[in-house]
Amino acid sequence: MRTLDDTCDTFDIGGDLTVNRLGFGAMRITGPDILGEPTDVTEVHRLLDRALDLGVDFVDTADAYGPGTSERLLAAAGVPDDVVVATKGGLLRTPDGDWLRYGDPDYLRNAALCSLDRLGVDTIDLYQYHAPDADVPIEESMAALADLRDRGLVRHVGVSNVSVDQLERARDVVPIATVQNEYSVADRTHDDVLDVCEDRNIGFVPYFPLGGGDLGEKAAVLDEVATAHDATRRQVALAWLLERSPVVLPIPGTSSVDHLESNVAAAALSLTDDEMARLSA
């Protein structure tokens, strides 16, 4: 099986962190419902080792995954220094698993320090504000991340779950290296945000790049294109993202080595202009 180094284009996050454009989302290496420890930690290590073997050099996590579990597992797996690890802060988990937005600047500073400790690093490659808090102006939250960057605790800053207006307001405070929004061939809600990112060479990291498993009305055309390429529906969905824009960095997540290998194989899939048009219609 060819690796991403053979098949995948690269992108320079923040202008200086070169990664293969197909990354790995580490949300699902935790326990059920993204809470607690996984059933088999050894299998998680095998999954991460296989991802690195296949050329994955961009891994995305967050303090809310577990919470804290995903970051600790990445550190325990011994992810090499040349792999870009991105994490996020600004979401709290309740005991019943709800996600609560919390953008207090002091909280974000402390959250980043905790992530540094769990990841076992001196500097976080990419620290992202997980979701704007309606009760805190985004400028105040971003000022905390700018302070972390100025102190050398984070190398680059990103935002997640933002509109174009929120992105522009964040950029007024600190350089933004990436935007992470929900996006897939079946959910084009944030086309406008992606267009801004492409215009300004900001990495666009689509979460749920496979539509959370529901590709809806695109299923039929995905299946037609998949048949033509002897591929799977999900491989075509990932290939579409890679073709959509050179700034797109998909991060499909999985707890299965087989699914990981299938996802990575999508980087070798080349779609025709006609197929892209049909999928994009």
- Bridge partner list, 156: 126
- Domain boundaries, given as residue ranges, for the chain: 4-213+247-252
What is the structure's pLDDT at 59?
Answer: 98
What is the structure's pLDDT at 6?
Answer: 80
pLDDT per residue over 71-111, tens digit each?
999 999 999 999 999 999 999 998 888 999 999 999 999 99
At residue 203, φ and ψ (nearest 5 deg) are -65, 135
Which is more confident, 281 or 152?
Answer: 152
Which is more confident, 1 or 237?
Answer: 237
Choose the catalytic residue: 65, 127, 129, 183: 65
Annotation marks residue 65 as catalytic: yes
Mean pLDDT of 231-247: 96
CATH of domain 4-213+247-252: 3.20.20.100
Label residue 5 by pLDDT band (50, 70, 90). confident
Label residue 215 by pLDDT band (50, 70, 90). confident
pLDDT per residue over 31-72, tens digit each?
999 999 999 999 999 999 999 999 999 999 999 999 999 999
Global pTM reads 0.96
Residues 203, 122: Cα–Cα separation, whole Å: 23
- State the number of CA atoms in the 13 A half-sphere of 38 facing the CB: 23
Mean pLDDT of 251-266: 95
Residues 37, 41: Cα–Cα separation, whole Å: 8
What is the structure's pLDDT at 1?
Answer: 65
Residues 6+ apart with CB under 8 A from 166: 132, 138, 159
